[in-house]
Amino acid sequence: MNDSCRAARKPLPTLWSCILGASFVLLLVMFPESARGQETAAFFKQNCYSCHTINGGRLVGPDLHNVTKRKDREWLVRFMLNPQAMIDRGDPYAKQILDESRGVVMAQIAGLTRERAFLLLDLIEAESALEKSQFEGVKFSDRPFTAQDVFQGEQIFKGLTPLANGGPACMSCHTVRGLGLLGGGRLGADLTKVSERVGGRKPLSAWLVSPATTTMQPVFKLHPIEPEEILSLVAFFEDSAKRVGDDDSVAPLTFFLIGLAGMVLVLGLFDSLWKNRFRAVRRPLVSGGEMRTDA
């Protein structure tokens, strides 16, 4: 660019190309900056907002308002990249924030790089300086739960009422004690006491807006759970936490027995199918044979 600008002192067309070139370079420099800022905000919303607000109070994790004033950036980035390692190392500050979070360890976030972690801290710092951050927290209704909410939540959990945006039934991966014979899936956690574990209605509701586990995130990103559905589900979980006894141990055995019964049934079915088929094939063969001897 320098060369073309020096040349631009005389002929007019070259001056124009110099200005054009310069503004193009300026665009190139400025545009990725704002695009990156937007990308970082989108990343925060998708991966962090389910557990953290900025100046909206604690959810599963601490409020990140002014977090860079509480702890230096280098430490925070190392923590974000591998929370469990920092806790295992016996770091006293990590232990303190872990205790304040009722022992829930921050998940390792897929796609989080060192560079991105620093950009996220820039974002958090900028949002902390605002009077009202865009990450103040999603507002949920706080009306008291009714028996109808609990019932509706159970229907959704079991998949008897399908989720509006087409997400899979919770029960295909999770169980809640006292659900009845089938118990539910085992891929995800037992959710009987999940509302206590994460700290109550508000954190659990926020968590469900963008579930932050590697299994659930890709699925529910495309099929988000509606606010009314979240309310019902949380009502159901709060109720299930209150109801629990120690009647869980039935489910695995029940599964085994149902599996066994199913196998016997299928074997029986095959058996009779084969018999019928065998007869069906044999009959024409036999009569065919007779016809051939006749000819």
Instruction: Please identify, using beta-carbon distances, which residue of 50 and 133 lies nearer to ligand HEC.
Output: 50
* Backbone torsions φ then ψ of 71, nearest 5 degrees: -150, 150
Q: Which is nearer to ligand HEC, 22 or 193 (CB)?
A: 193
CB of 84 to ligand HEC, least distance (A): 8
What's the CA angle centered on 106, arms 132 and 169, to 5 degrees? Answer: 90
Cβ(143)–Cβ(157) under 8 Å? no
Instruction: Provide the minimum distance between the beta carbon of 278 and ligand HEC in the complex, in angstroms, as a whole number.
Output: 42
Q: How far is the CB of 148 from ligand HEC (least distance, A)?
A: 18
Residues 6+ apart with CB under 8 A from 130: none
State how far the Cα of 199 lies from the Cα of 247, in Å rounded to an integer: 24
Q: Which is nearer to ligand HEC, 8 or 156 (CB)?
A: 156
- CA pair distance 291, 295, nearest whole angstrom: 6
Q: For residue 151, what are its two tokens? A: 């019932």
Q: Which is nearer to ligand HEC, 15 or 190 (CB)?
A: 190
CB of 8 or CB of 65, closer to ligand HEC: 65
Cβ 169 to ligand HEC shortest distance, Å = 7
User: Shortest gap between Cβ of 183 and ligand HEC (angstroms)?
Assistant: 15
Tokens of 197: 């574990």
Burial of 82 (0-12, 13-18, 19+ CB in 10 A): middle
For ligand HEC, give the closer residue by CB, 18 or 202: 202
Minimum separation from the CB atom of position 146 to ligand HEC (A): 19
What is the nearest approach in angstroms of ligand HEC to the Cβ of residue 264? 29
Whether the CB-CB separation of 164 and 197 falls below 8 Å is answered with no
**How far is the CA of 276 from the CAs of 67, 264, 271, 273, in angstroms?**
74, 18, 9, 5
What are the residues binding ligand HEC (CB under 6 A)?
A: 47-48, 50-52, 60-62, 64, 67, 70-71, 76, 79-80, 83, 97-98, 101, 104-107, 109, 112, 120, 167-168, 170, 172-174, 187-189, 191, 194, 197, 207-208, 211-213, 215-216, 219, 225, 233
Q: How many CB atoms lie within 10 A of CB 137?
A: 20
Q: Toward ligand HEC, which CB reaches closer, 21 or 188? A: 188
Nearest to 64 by CA among 89, 35, 44: 44
Tokens found for residue 86: 């920092």
